Amino acid sequence: MKSIVRILVILVFSSPVISWANQPDTHPFNSAIGLTVGYGTQDFGLLHLGVQYYYKVLIHQIHYSVPVLKYQKLRTDALIGIQYNITEYYKSFDCTVPLYSHEHGFNIGSITSYQIGNNIKNVYVLVSLAGLFINNAPDRQSNGFIFSDNIGIGITIHMINNIDISPQFGFRHISNAGIKSPNGGIHNWVISVGCIYNL
């Protein structure tokens, strides 16, 4: 997963440099489809959660968004997505051999954005809730159905024609709301990059 993290970091920090398009209207009030790839961890350098577990996640999401509100430079879109995630974890904190599993399910949420310009189109805040099934997890969290609470901040960068890219940094919490024990919950910092096609 380390090579994937390096690729995501390069994309996030190089995307403003490689944005070249300057269309007359890059803010149409329309729906969009996209693909987002992200990486979640407990440790992003100085941003260390200080928890006693190890759970990395490689997130893949296909999503559809539709605008619901626009006022001057503010806009809110509703979002629905399908996720398939690959996980790497230790069964307990004193284990040294990583195990691998997966998560899958649906995600719904909202994106509130503030328009900036044509190349860097907007900054936004994303809030979403996913219902996922996890196959295996550390001892602190039971398998089966879980909720994933997500919040992220990012920018949307116009590339060419109807295509945008969207680097994002966020936080994710998964647990099952007490449906089944154990329910210790798992936290992740998440860095991601999305490719968006405006319909």
CATH of the domain at 116: 2.40.160.20
Q: How confident is the model at residue 14 (pLDDT cuts 50, 70, 90)?
A: very low
DSSP state of 136: -
User: Over 50: is that where the pLDDT of 24 sits?
Assistant: no
- What is the extent of the structural domain holding 183? 2-21+30-198
Summarize the confidence of residues 32-55 as an average pLDDT.
92
DSSP state of 42: S
Question: Number of structural domains, the chain?
Answer: 1
Higher pLDDT, 1 or 49: 49
Higher pLDDT, 111 or 21: 111
Distant-in-sequence, close-in-space partners of 44: CB < 8 Å, separation ≥ 6? 189, 191
Q: What is the pTM of this model?
A: 0.83
Block residue for tokens 């979640």:
40
DSSP state of 141: B
- Evaluate whether 188 touches 171 at the Cβ level (below 8 Å): yes
The tokens for 97 are 């051999």
